[in-house]
Amino acid sequence: MNPASFRQLIGITASSASVQDSTLIIIDAQNEYAFGKLQVEGISESRAVISALLQKYRQGGDDTELALELEELTPRSGEKVITKAFPSSFAQTGLHDYLSTLGDFGKKIVLVGYMAHVCVSTTARAGHELGYDVIVVRDAVGDRDIPGVKAPVLTAVSLSALEDAFATVVSASDIGV
């Protein structure tokens, strides 16, 4: 039997998300992570999942929170882009204020992007601290090898830590229409 997570122990149930009740936040889906010095392992697979989720959100709602640069993820007119200077998408940006304008859609955030151990993790933790219902899509998150840890292990451990205390972790197929 698997041990209970911290969230389970304190009575927080796992969340679900649909395009009708959440905001998609794409974190650092930039060319750097595909072609630069910070290349993410398995980026072809995760960026395809991110692209499919973006299409799902575009078809199901008006506003989608974006922070991206990969070609297939180019923002459309009316889609909000938040520029950030720190690992957290909330630190010294207008993201929290923007989400507040979205009503119920802004209370549940669905996180995808790069890198799991830095920007995704920091944004998820900050979102939790700000009272958001945080969901992270495991197959739409990636990372790179770092000294002593291979990317798949780093991603898995980062997501397990988030799922233990700060977020619900789901697969893209779990996001409803």
Catalytic residue numbers read 28, 84, 119
- 154 phi/psi in degrees, rounded to 5: -60, -45
Lookup result for tokens 């697969």: 171
C-beta of residue 151 within 8 angstroms of C-beta of residue 142: yes
Distance CA 119, CA 133 (A): 17
Residues in the chain: 177
**Cα separations in angstroms, 173 against 63, 65, 97, 129, 169:** 21, 20, 29, 27, 12
